[in-house]
Chains A and B, each alone.
Chain A
C-alpha cells in the first residue's frame, strides 16, 4: 500500500483552463477544471457545489403543502417536475388515488414543460457552438409553449399546478382549443428543427462524433434521460415505470421511446428534438382523451408514517424523490436525486480527449442543472474517498486554507 504522496504522478506543464464558476457557457455556477495540451483536453475535473441551498433540510420544517412550492423552486426549468413529483410522493405516502382528470392535467403540464425544456436546451446548444440565428429562432418558438403554460397555470416559470390530491386548475374548453392551436404551431416548428436546422453543416460538424459516450460506458456510469437514450440505452421512466397518465399513454400504443445509436452529442440532439415532437403529440393525445370529472381529492394534512420513492422522467432524465413521512404535516426526510447528478460521471468521460472548443457543447449536452444537484459532498477521486462535510468543519478548513495561502500579498 502506497501513501498518496508516493503515488503522485509528475505531469509536464500543462495549461489548466477553468470553465466556471462564472462563465458565459454556463447558466449556473459550476466549475470544470480542464487540463489542456494545446487544444486537446487531457483531463477534466468536475467541481460542483456552488449552489447549495439546503432545500432538503428546509423542507423538514415545512408542511407538505408548503413544500410543494419550495420544491418547485429547486429549479426554474423543471419546476413542474419537482412540484409534481413531490405531490406524487406525498400521495403515494398517503395512499390516495387521485382523480383521472387530475392525472391527465398533471401529465399535460409535465409534457408541456418537457417541450419548453427541450427547446431551451436546443437554443443553448445552438448558442454554445455560436449558431446564434438558430438560437434566436428556437427561443422565439419557445415563447409559444411558455405562453401556453402561462395560459394553463397562470405563471410562466413556477406553474404551481399540482396540489396534494390533484391539480389546482382545470382545463376549460376554450383553453383546450387554444392549446391545440399552439401545439400545431410547435409541431411545425420542431419538424423544421429536426429536418433542417440541426443538419446545417457548420452545426453538424460541431456535434457529430463529439463527446462520445459508448453504450457500455453510459450503462456503467448510470447515465439517465436523453444522455442515455442518445447512447442507445433504453431508460425512460415514462415507459419503464409509468405513473399518472403515462400508463394510458403507453397503453395507447401510439408512442415510442426515442432512441439514437449515435452515442455523440448529435445523437443527444436528435433524441431531444424528436422527443419534443413526441411530447407535442402526447399533449394532443392527452387533451383529446381527457376524461371528465373532478380535478382534486381532499387529502388530510397529516400523512401516516410511510416511506416511498417517487420516480418521474424529468426532461433531463429520471428524477427521484425519496420521502419518509412520520404522521405529522411535515416530512421526516426528503431526499432528491436530480437527473443531472446521475449524469456527472458520464460527462467527465465525454470531456476527456476532446477539444476545448467542444467543452461547452459537451457540458451543455447533458443539459446540466446545478441547482438541482448541488450537495455538500466532497468526492476525492484520487483517494476514492467520499466524505460528507458539515458546515462548521468546512468553515474551519476554509479559515486554515486562507491562513496558509495568504491572498492579501498580491
Chain B
C-alpha cells in the first residue's frame, strides 16, 4: 500500500515536472519563441535567428541563459520584495495555467483527454488566472516606481478591461455547445458534434484570436511595451534574472494561448477522430488512452495545431502597426464586445430554434 503510494507520487511528480508538465511546457515555450521570431523575420525578408543550433533553434535558450547571468538591478525607490516577487508570480501563474491544457490523457478512466489538472469548472479558473496574470503585470509596473513603468501599467489595465470581456464571451460558445465548463469535456464533446456546428465556431474563433493577441500584448496591441514611446513600459526596470523569468513567463503565456485556441476551437489533440470511420471509434480512444502510441500521437497533434496558431499570431504581429491606447479601447468596446455578444445571441438562436428545425442535433 505504502509502496504503491510512493510510486504513484513519483509518477505524478514526473508528470508535473517533466512531461507534460514544467519541462515540456518550458521547452515548448522556447520553441514557440523561436518559431515566432523566425517566421516574423522571414515575413520581413530577414533571416532571423541563425547561428545557435539548427537555424538558430537554441537562440531563445541562449538568450534566457545570457539574461540569467546579467547584473540584476533594483531601483532604489522600488519596493524590493514586491518588485522581486512579480516575475516569480508571473511564472507560477503561467505554468499553472498550462497544467490545464489537455495534451495527453492523464486519466484514462474518464472519457476525453485531461490535462494534469482537470475538474468541472476549470475553464472559469483558467480565465480567472489569466486575469490575475494581467494584474501581476499592472503590479510589476507599479512596483518599479518609474513613470514609464507606471504608464505601461495603466495601459495594461486599460487593455485588460477592454479585451478580457470579448475573450470570455468568445470562450462561452464552445462551452455552450458542449454544455460544460470543463476543458476536457468541451474538447471531447466538440469532437462528437456535427460539422454544421463548425460554422458557429468561426466568429468566436476570430474574436478569441484577436483578444488573445491583446492579452499577450503583441502588435497591434503592444501599447504597454511600446518601445519607442515608453521604453518597454512595465518591464523597464527589470533586468538580469528577473527579466529572464518575465520573458519565459511571456513565452509560456504564448504556449497557453496557442494551446487554448487549439483546445477550444481547433479540436484539441484529436485529428484522426474527425474522419468518420469505424476504426476511429471508442476502442480507438481507449487504445490511445492506455498505450504509449497515444502519448506520442496526442502530443504531436497538439504541438502541430498550436504551431499553426503561433504562425497565425506571428503573421498578425507582422501585419500591423501599433494602435494607440484610445483606438484600442475604442476597438475593444465598440467592435469586439458587440461582436462577441451578437455571436452569443446567434449561438443561442441557432441552438434553440434553427438547428432543431433543420434537424441537426
List residues of chain A with CB under 8 Å of any chain B CB. Answer: 15-18, 23-25, 38-39, 126-134, 136-137, 140, 200, 202-203, 205-206, 355-360, 410
Partner of B228, one of A128, A136, A203: A128
Q: Residue-by-residue, is B196-233 near A (CB-CB < 8 Å gives 1, otherwise 0)? A: 00000000000000000000000110110011111100
Name 30 interchain pairs, CB-CB below 8 A, sorted by A. Answer: A15-B147, A15-B150, A17-B148, A24-B227, A24-B228, A39-B151, A130-B228, A130-B322, A131-B322, A132-B219, A132-B318, A140-B45, A200-B319, A202-B321, A202-B322, A205-B323, A206-B323, A206-B324, A355-B324, A355-B325, A355-B326, A356-B151, A357-B223, A357-B226, A357-B229, A357-B324, A357-B325, A358-B324, A359-B229, A360-B229
* Min CB gap B82→A, angstroms: 21
Interface class of chain B by DSSP: helix
Say if the beta carbon of B52 comes within 8 Å of chain A: no
Q: Which of B229, B231, B322, B325 has the most chain A CB atoms closer than 10 A to its own CB?
A: B229
Is A136 touching B231 in the complex (CB atoms < 8 A)? no
Contact (A129, B319) CB under 8 Å given A24-B228, A202-B220, A357-B226: no
Q: How far is the CA of A374 from the CA of B151 in the complex (A)?
A: 30
Q: Which residue of A lies closest to B220 (CB)?
A: A202
Q: How far is the CA of A23 from the CA of B220 in the complex (A)?
A: 21
Partner of A129, one of B76, B151, B231, B322: B322
Q: Which residues of A contact B222 (CB under 8 A)?
A: 130
Say if the beta carbon of B320 comes within 8 Å of chain A: yes
Q: Which residues of A contact B220 (CB under 8 A)?
A: 130, 202
Q: How far is the CA of A16 from the CA of B147 in the complex (A)?
A: 8
Q: How far is the CA of A206 from the CA of B256 in the complex (A)?
A: 31
Residues of B in contact, count (CB < 8 Å): 30
Per the 8 Å Cβ criterion, residues 308-352 of B in contact with A are 318-327
Q: How far is the CA of A206 from the CA of B320 in the complex (A)?
A: 11
Known: A132-B318, A205-B327, A206-B323. 5 other contacts (CB 8 A): A24-B228, A130-B321, A140-B45, A206-B322, A355-B326
Say if the beta carbon of B281 comes within 8 Å of chain A: no
Say if the beta carbon of B44 comes within 8 Å of chain A: yes
Q: How far is the CA of A134 from the CA of B319 in the complex (A)?
A: 9
Say if the beta carbon of B43 comes within 8 Å of chain A: yes
Q: How far is the CA of A355 from the CA of B222 in the complex (A)?
A: 16
Partner of B321, one of A38, A200, A356, A410: A200
* Min CB gap B197→A, angstroms: 32
Partner of A205, one of B43, B45, B324: B324
* Min CB gap A205→B, angstroms: 6
* Min CB gap A19→B, angstroms: 9
Contact (A24, B231) CB under 8 Å given A17-B148, A130-B220: yes
Q: Which of A128, A129, A203, A360 has the most chain B CB atoms closer than 10 A to its own CB?
A: A129
Is A360 touching B320 in the complex (CB atoms < 8 A)? no
A-B pairs, top 9 by smallest CB distance, nearest first, are A130-B322, A131-B321, A202-B321, A203-B321, A136-B44, A25-B228, A202-B320, A357-B324, A360-B228
